[in-house]
Amino acid sequence: MRLKGRIALVTGASRGLGAAAALAYAREGAHCILVARTVGGLEAVDDQIQALGGSATLVPLDVTDGPGIDRLGQALYERFGKLDILLGNAGLLGMLAPVGHIEPDIFERVMAVNVTANWRLIRSLDPLLRQSDAGRAIFVTCDISRRVVPYWSAYAASKAALDMLASTYAAECGHTSVRVNLYDPGPLRTKLRKEAFPGENPETVSSPEAHAEALIELALPSCALNGEWVAGHQDDSTG
C-alpha cells in the first residue's frame, strides 16, 4: 500500500497503459480519478478496481474539452483539496502519411489530444499538485520524438512538443515539492500500436501491465527525479 491515501488522476484510463496504471495505483491504495471518453471502458476498469478492494471516481470526458478540464479541477479542489498524482497518458496516433498529405482535422486532433490537453491539465491541476506534500506529474511520451522517421510527422511532432512542455514545467517546479517526469514505455500492446503496425504479432511487444511498477515508482512521494526522461524499454527502431 505504497500510495495509501493518495489521489491519482489518470487520463486515457479506459484501456491500455492508463487502465494498467490505474489498477496498479489502486492496488497500492490510491483513490483513482479515471478520465476517458468511453463510459463502458471506465466502468470495466472500475469493476476491476473494486474487485481489488480499491476505489475510483469515473470522469467521462474528452481531454480536448478544455472547459471540462477546468470544471474537473474545480470539482477535485472542492472534494479533495489536492491532487497527489497526475498521469497524462491519453494519446492519439492520427495517421501515418507524408507531411503534405495529412488531413488538417486529423493533424489538429493529434495536437489537441497529445499536447494541448496536457497543457490544459497542467493549467487546471498545478495548484492542486502544489497542495500535495509530494505532487507527482508523469507524462507518457515516445522516443519517436527524438528521431526522424518518414510518415510519422504528426505523432512525432506532438510528442516532441509534449516533451518540451513537460520539461519546462518540471524546471518551473524545481523549487516546489512537485516532481514532473516523462515516461516512454516503448513498443506496447495497445490499440495505438495496432493502428501503426497492424500486421505485428502483439505478443512480440510488452504488455501495459509490465510498466505498472515503473509508473508506481514515479508516483511515489520518495521519487526525487524531476525533468527526467524515463525509458521503460531498450531503444527500438520501429517507433
Report pLDDT for 233. Answer: 65
User: What is the number of other CB atoms lying within 10 angstroms of the CB of residue 56?
Assistant: 25
> 2 in a domain, yes or no?
no
Q: What is the CATH number of the domain that holds 134?
A: 3.40.50.720
Q: Tell me what pLDDT residue 193 has.
A: 73
pLDDT digits (tens, 9 = 90+) for 206-226: 889 999 999 999 999 999 999
Residues involved in catalysis: 155
Please check whether residue 237 lies inside any domain of the structure.
no
36 falls within a domain: yes
Say if residue 65's pLDDT is above 50: yes
Residue 132: per-residue pLDDT: 98
User: Which pLDDT score is estimated for 225?
Assistant: 98
Q: Is residue 239 included in any domain, yes or no? A: no
**Domains of the chain: total:** 1
**1 domain-assigned:** no
Give Dmax (Cα) for the chain.
51
H helices present in 102-233, as ranges: 104-111, 117-131, 153-172, 191-196, 212-219
* pLDDT above 80 (res 22): yes
Q: 57, exposed or middle or buried, with CB in 10 Å at 0-12, 13-18, 19+?
A: middle
* Alpha carbon 73 to its chain's center: 16
Distance CA 106, CA 121 (A): 21
How far is it, in rounded angstroms, from Cα 1 to Cα 131? 22
pTM: 0.93
- DSSP secondary structure string for all residues of 86-127: EEE----------GGGS-HHHHHHHHIIIIIHHHHHHHHHHH
Domain range for 219 is 7-231
**Residue at 199 is within a domain:** yes
49 part of a folded domain? yes
Residue 237 pLDDT more than 70?
A: no
For residues 55 and 206, which has the higher predicted lDDT (pLDDT)?
55
What would the pLDDT profile of 84-128 be if each residue is shown by its tens digit? 999 999 999 999 999 999 999 999 999 999 999 999 999 999 999
Domain membership of residue 174 (yes or no) is yes
